[in-house]
Amino acid sequence: MLGSDEVQGKIMEPRVERDEFICAGRRVKLYRRILSGGIVKDLVSFGKAVVVVPVLDDKRIVFVRQWRAPIARWIVELPAGKVEEGEKPVDAAARELREETGYRAGKLREIASAYVAPGYSDEYMYIFVAEDLVFEGQRPEKGEYLMTVILRPEEYLSEFREDMKSIAALLLYLWNNKAASI
């Protein structure tokens, strides 16, 4: 049986008719996206972001324990943040690493990138691995409440597992290292 968007076995691609601005927060904008056929979807516009897997020489990972206002609690996660207007993702990764952990990376390489939640947001995240770390002192942004936590990857995955971007980035880091050693 054909669905309403199918014609003789082919799925018709919807067209974006327009976006209607609803409101803006400090870092996001909310739109009502109108598609062909009068279909209405919500769109949270965030833009680009980065997450960094900071690897110490002994292969432990530098995480941050950060108080997150949207969930009103502390969470252990990898350093991450928004790519600012005109900024390259690699530069944002270096900046977030320095601000949140106090480390500067001798080597910073991108291992993946993907949409975070394409069902409702345009946020696109770049995953970086930071190595050859040198501690220079934290510089958190105003309103960031955080401290560093050093863990082995398996400790994080067995005890914390509360932030999907950190879980995905850590698993991709481990998978890339395993693939490289085969």
Are residue 84 and residue 173 in the same domain, yes or no?
Answer: yes
Q: Is residue 1 part of a domain?
A: no
Of the CA atoms within 13 Å of residue 6, those in its CB half-sphere come to 6
Q: What is the pLDDT of residue 8?
A: 62
Region 167-171: what's the mean pLDDT? 97
Identity of residue 178: K
Indicate the number of domains in the chain. Answer: 2
The CA distance from 174 to 138, in Å, is 26
The CA distance from 96 to 169, in Å, is 15
pLDDT tens string 136-164: 987 777 777 889 999 999 999 999 989 99
> What number of residues does the chain have?
182
Are residue 110 and residue 62 in the same domain, yes or no?
Answer: yes
pLDDT tens string 16-75: 999 999 999 988 999 999 999 999 999 999 999 999 999 999 999 999 999 998 999 999
pLDDT band at 7 (very low <50, low <70, confident <90, very high): low
Assigned token pair, 164: 């999907």
The phi-psi region of residue 92 (left if phi > 0; otherwise alpha if psi is between -120 and 50; otherwise beta) is: alpha
Are residue 69 and residue 158 in the same domain, yes or no?
Answer: yes
Asked if pLDDT for residue 2 goes beyond 60, the answer is: no
Q: What is the pLDDT of residue 90?
A: 98
Beta-strand relationship, 48-54 and 40-45: unpaired
Are residue 36 and residue 73 in the same domain, yes or no?
Answer: no
The CA distance from 177 to 138, in Å, is 28
Are residue 135 and residue 68 in the same domain, yes or no?
Answer: yes
The CA distance from 150 to 94, in Å, is 18
Is the full-model pTM beyond 0.75? yes
Q: Residues 130, 56: contact at Cβ < 8 Å?
A: no
Query: 99: buried, middle or exposed (CB in 10 Å: 19+, 13-18, 0-12)?
Result: middle
Closest CA to 166 of 76, 98, 93, 94: 76
pLDDT band at 177 (very low <50, low <70, confident <90, very high): confident
Closest CA to 47 of 24, 67, 15: 24
13/167: higher pLDDT: 167
Range of the domain at 33: 6-45
pLDDT tens string 98-149: 999 999 999 999 999 999 999 999 999 999 999 999 999 877 777 778 899 9
Q: What is the pLDDT of residue 110?
A: 98
Are residue 134 and residue 63 in the same domain, yes or no?
Answer: yes
